[in-house]
Amino acid sequence: MDQSTALSVFVSLSSGIRLDAFRLLVRAGPAGAVAGEIATALDVAPSSLSFHLRTLTQSGLLTVEQEGRFQRYRADLSVINGVIDFLTENCCSGLPETCASIAEARSRIPACIPSRDPDPESHA
């Protein structure tokens, strides 16, 4: 991940509504949630929420899939993993015990949410 991408992620999370929406979708896991469910859970007007979800999607933090008339959003944890890697790539200065808490926290990130595959046909 480069600095520009990391900054885009941080900017998209700099709103309380967007941070709450992302955290809600992390909790939802692979099932994700449709926009109406997110709006209800966060007590946000759907028109306002669509702006925030679009911002999160543009930064890569969310994926969206059309389901009939609804859009289902899912958190893309590979992006957060990329941000963590970016922030900690030079961690520890040769003292791995300094970063033990970071490694422990990373081990708790659910592996149940698949990362985006830019070309799903390549695995067929």
Q: Which domains does the chain have, with CATH numbers?
A: 1-112 (1.10.10.10)
Q: Are 62 and 53 in contact (CB under 8 A)?
A: yes
Spatial separation of the C-alpha atoms in residues 34 and 120, rounded to whole Å: 23
Is the model's pTM score more than 0.85?
A: no
Q: Are 99 and 88 in contact (CB under 8 A)?
A: yes
96 DSSP assignment: G
pLDDT in tens, the chain (124 residues): 899 999 999 999 999 999 999 999 999 999 999 999 999 999 999 989 999 999 999 999 999 999 999 999 999 999 988 888 888 877 777 666 777 777 777 677 655 444 444 444 433 3
